[in-house]
Amino acid sequence: MEIQKFLVKNEWSASDKITEIVNPYTNQIVKKVYKTGSEYINQSLNYLSSVYAKYKKEPVYVKAELLEKISKKISERKEELALLMTTEMGKPIKFSRIEIERAVLVFKLGAEEAKRIQGEVINLDLLKGSENKFGVIRRFPVGVILAITPWNFPVNLVAHKLSPALASGNVVLLKPASATLSCGIEIGKIVKESAEELGLDYCPVNVITSSGSEIESFVADPRVKMISFTGSPVVGWNIKRKTATQKVSLELGGNAGVIVDESADLINAVSKIVLGAFGQAGQSCISVQRVFVHKNIYDEFEKFLLEETKKVITGNPFEEDTVNGPMINETEASRIDRWVNEAVANNAKLLLGGKRTGAVYEPTIIVNAGKNANVNSKEVFAPVMTLKSFDDFKKAVEEVDDSDFGLQTGIFSHNLENALYAYNNIEVGGVCINDVSTYRMDSMPYGGVKLSGNAREGIKYAIEEMTERKIMVINM
């Protein structure tokens, strides 16, 4: 098995340490990667700091063409990259293919947004003494961005860091998740190839393979101007506490609630909720977790829900029809097994599922779980859904909002007043009407509040996070 190298400075390098990546479904070693230590991180930061002075001055057409090339190369390799993703982290192949298509779009959007980073002109003659003065405002890149990405979307979330950063003239030190290092390395290869084809004598992206604890010691390094982190709330907020002058963009977890009003289209709601809760083993921060259904339609909803959930194909992620593949490892599957058993021990009822085979956990539906039960109050990040009826829409909104998290929510209703009430009163980053919380289009502003984060992704909006406004005051 070939050992994969890391990208430090403008070359692929090896070290004396190796890490192994295990497929969670087969439990076999599928990749070996050389590990970077502190000395390589230091070298990379020095290199990127010097490269930034060059890259930020490149004309817009060069940045746009770089991103176009990256998008095209990913598209040309989409089946290979999809198989790599499924091999590394067990995502069902149908979802891996969708993720690669999304990454193609994300880099294409970056190429377009690079051309639209515009400024503004403002009048300053608002008080006596400021006659004939006006201001010109432009956005400027911040410098070296440390991008830390998770394993659950190991290509598209890398794209969401690199595309806006490169579009706006920044350079990136990429630290992919340890469970999916190969996916990050392959995107690094594509960036380097694209830069070389453009005639650049440097690469604006480096890819390191250090552990999280090693990279955390560099988050306050003055060479790092911004940290863009997607991952667990515990790690994310800890990074923010350690920083001093750096900008910090956090995209963290959630325990998304979905409300099904009595005016909803039940068939539509059930089909979307099942996929949103159990697709790729529920391992998404916006997967459906808590479902609230109006009492007048509850019995019919539950019947449809159980019927549809029983149709969900679980197991081998390489099978074309698999929806619910393995969790990332047996440790995580054991954790959710404990949480479900704890809920049942405290008077919750198991309607379906609740069984584990290795890292594979069956689609699971629970009713009567307490508000403070782990399956309700925390992020399950697993194929587990809790179900509860309500008789007052406003009270259901209160229950959805009664959470430490605030990422996205879903509302199924044909009542415009209820839809607007939910939008105005649930403290989250996004409300999806007649769709599940799991919906995300890569161009939209995406992010959360409360423990779910402090920033927005989506190329245009991420560029705003990755740049600073600068004004030039002109006295005519």
Residue 138 sits at φ, ψ, to 5 deg, of: -130, 165
| CA 41/CA 46 separation, integer angstroms | 9
CA distances from 411 to 123, 398, 437 (A): 43, 13, 8
Q: What are the helix (H) ranges across 348-392? A: 374-377
Look up residue 246 and give its two tokens.
């750096």
| CA 392/CA 399 separation, integer angstroms | 11
Quick one: pLDDT at residue 1? 87
Q: For residue range 134-151, list pLDDT tens digits in order.
A: 999 999 999 999 999 999
Residue 205 sits at φ, ψ, to 5 deg, of: -130, 135
The enclosing H or E element of 156 equals helix 156-167
| CA 36/CA 176 separation, integer angstroms | 12
Is residue 277 helix, strand or coil? helix
- What is the chain's pLDDT, residue by residue, as a tens digit (476 residues)? 899 999 999 999 999 999 999 999 999 999 999 999 999 999 999 999 999 999 999 999 999 999 999 999 999 999 999 999 999 999 999 999 999 999 999 999 999 999 999 999 999 999 999 999 999 999 999 999 999 999 999 999 999 999 999 999 999 999 999 999 999 999 999 999 999 999 999 999 999 999 988 999 999 999 999 999 999 999 999 999 999 899 999 999 999 999 999 999 999 999 999 999 999 999 999 999 999 999 999 999 999 999 999 999 999 999 999 999 999 999 999 999 999 999 999 999 999 999 999 999 999 999 999 999 999 999 999 999 999 999 999 999 999 999 999 999 999 999 999 999 999 999 999 999 999 999 999 999 999 999 999 999 999 999 999 999 999 999 99
The enclosing H or E element of 141 equals strand 133-141
Look up residue 141 and give its two tokens.
């890149």
Is residue 247 helix, strand or coil? strand
Query: What count of other Cβ atoms lies within 10 Å of the Cβ of residue 23?
Result: 19
Quick one: pLDDT at residue 174? 98
Q: What angle do CA 126, 468, 452 make, to 5 degrees?
A: 115
Sheet (strand 3-4) strand order: 3-4, 29-34, 18-22
DSSP 74-105: HHHTHHHHHHHHHHHH---HHHHHHHHHHHHH
| CA 397/CA 405 separation, integer angstroms | 14
pTM above 0.95, yes or no: yes
Quick one: pLDDT at residue 206? 98
> In terms of Cα–Cα distance, which of 315, 316, 329, 326 is closest to 22?
329
Please enumerate in sequence order all residues whose Cβ is within 8 A of that of 384, keeping only pairs 6 or more positions apart, or say none: 277, 282, 289, 336, 339, 340, 353, 361, 364, 366, 375
Question: Hey, which bits of 15-130 come out as E strands?
Answer: 18-22, 29-34, 120-123
Query: What count of other Cβ atoms lies within 10 Å of the Cβ of residue 198?
Result: 13
- For helices 181-197 and 78-89, the axis angle rounded to 10 degrees is 150
| CA 30/CA 85 separation, integer angstroms | 11
Q: What are the catalytic residues?
A: 251, 285
User: Under a CB-based contact definition with an 8 Å cutoff, are residues 383 and 282 in contact?
Assistant: yes
Quick one: pLDDT at residue 244? 86
Quick one: pLDDT at residue 388? 98
What residue ranges define each of the domains in the chain, with the CATH number in brackets? 3-252+453-475 (3.40.605.10), 257-441 (3.40.309.10)
Look up residue 37 and give its two tokens.
């230590």
Quick one: pLDDT at residue 213? 87
